[in-house]
Amino acid sequence: MAQAWHLMSRPQGTPTAENFALKEASLPPLEEGMVHVRNRWLSVDPYMRGRMNDVKSYVPPFQLDQPMEGGAVAEVVESRDPSFAAGDLVMHMAGWRDEAVLPAKALNKLPPIPGIPPEAFLGNLGLTGGTAYFGLLAVAEAKEGDTVFVSAAAGAVGSAVVQIAKAKGMTVIGSAGGPDKCDYVRSLGADSAIDYRAGPLVKSLGEAAPHGIDVYFDNVGGDHLDSAFAHARNHARFAICGMIGGYNAGGEPAAFRYVMRIIAARIRVQGFIWTDYMDRIGEFYRDMGQWIAAGQVKSRDTVVQGLDRTPEAFLGLFSGANTGKMLIKL
């Protein structure tokens, strides 16, 4: 019997294990045009916290007591569509479960990039890397010589931003929580790493970027965003990717002391979703494939074993349990 995680209640603030339940799922019959897949890798990502609220967003909220969704890499078991055959490796959004029967149009074959492990398509060649790549280069229009500040730089998206920025000849300052994660950020090539737990961020960033920042890649919002306002150079560009610090705050307003600098420094602040850039996916696969092959962009995944530990892996995103991309291997 197939199994799928259901959202049983909407979290108030930080989610807990009690919000989730693993339930048996009966697969529908394999009709014409449908494909039966077995998931090999599941992705858990901070944006999923937003889908747990019952509010309109760029993706609809999870329905209560229904199978949850998320990025997954799967192997085709049986296909009744001519585009897919048993054994094919595919990507789809029916994660948080072990098996699924899906319409062929919900599946994408993994692009044939030599030497890339399949789970990379959930990481540096998927949502993670795509968010970093398009956020940095398309949204923030970061270019050679720019000084780039990136928050949560030891996280999945942040560590990709650090490495792409270095591959493109930028100066990079990354923030992370604690000395070990800061060491990791430096090992990725960052010119400096700020431990945001060690002192006032607005002061640390001023020391790390005495001439200010041209670009801020925001994964956390809050105090990090405010410090970036404080140290933005004229015509700085901010790409707003996530506000993990805000997902769980449960209505606490974010306070900004330096937001008025947006006028004097003509700062541009732009929110984005990487799927808006799908028309440039070829360019992304080409560049990122080359950087991965050349060792310029590496990933250090945090891998949790087994479908039953999926919520635990998800909850770990909010307690800093992961360095790099958080994955579940089935």
Binding residues for its own copies, per CB under 8 A?
Answer: 50, 57-58, 221, 226, 234, 240-243, 246-247, 251, 253-257, 259-273, 276
Tokens (6 digits) for 226:
């405010």
Distance in Å, CB of 262 to its own copies, minimum:
4
Distance in Å, CB of 230 to its own copies, minimum:
11
Q: Is the distance from CB of 239 to CB of 221 less than 8 angstroms?
A: no
Cβ proximity to its own copies, 58 vs 66, nearer residue: 58
Distance in Å, CB of 66 to its own copies, minimum:
21
DSSP string, 143-185: -TT-EEEESSTTBHHHHHHHHHHHHTT-EEEEEESSHHHHHHH
Distance in Å, CB of 216 to its own copies, minimum:
13
Cβ proximity to its own copies, 155 vs 289, nearer residue: 155
Q: Is the distance from CB of 158 to CB of 216 less than 8 angstroms?
A: no
Alpha helices in 16-87 (DSSP H): 48-51
Distance separating alpha carbons of residues 322 and 167, to the nearest angstrom:
24
Distance separating alpha carbons of residues 78 and 320, to the nearest angstrom:
39
The secondary structure of residue 234, as a DSSP letter, is E
Q: Phi/psi zone of residue 55: left (φ > 0), alpha (ψ -120 to 50 degrees), beta?
A: beta
Cβ proximity to its own copies, 264 vs 294, nearer residue: 264
The secondary structure of residue 12, as a DSSP letter, is S
Cβ proximity to its own copies, 89 vs 254, nearer residue: 254
Cβ proximity to its own copies, 17 vs 55, nearer residue: 55
CA atoms within 13 A on the CB side of 191: 18
Distance in Å, CB of 102 to its own copies, minimum:
26
Cβ proximity to its own copies, 34 vs 137, nearer residue: 137
Distance separating alpha carbons of residues 273 and 292, to the nearest angstrom:
23
Distance separating alpha carbons of residues 140 and 295, to the nearest angstrom:
24
Cβ proximity to its own copies, 266 vs 286, nearer residue: 266
Cβ proximity to its own copies, 30 vs 249, nearer residue: 249
Distance in Å, CB of 130 to its own copies, minimum:
15
Distance in Å, CB of 201 to its own copies, minimum:
14
> How far, in whole angstroms, is CA 282 from its chain's centroid?
19
Distance in Å, CB of 287 to its own copies, minimum:
23
Distance separating alpha carbons of residues 113 and 206, to the nearest angstrom:
41
Distance separating alpha carbons of residues 269 and 229, to the nearest angstrom:
10
Of the candidates 227, 230, 173, 218, the residue with the CA atom closest to the CA atom of residue 199: 227
Cβ proximity to its own copies, 109 vs 266, nearer residue: 266
Distance in Å, CB of 2 to its own copies, minimum:
31
In a 3-state reduction of DSSP, which class is residue 270?
A: strand
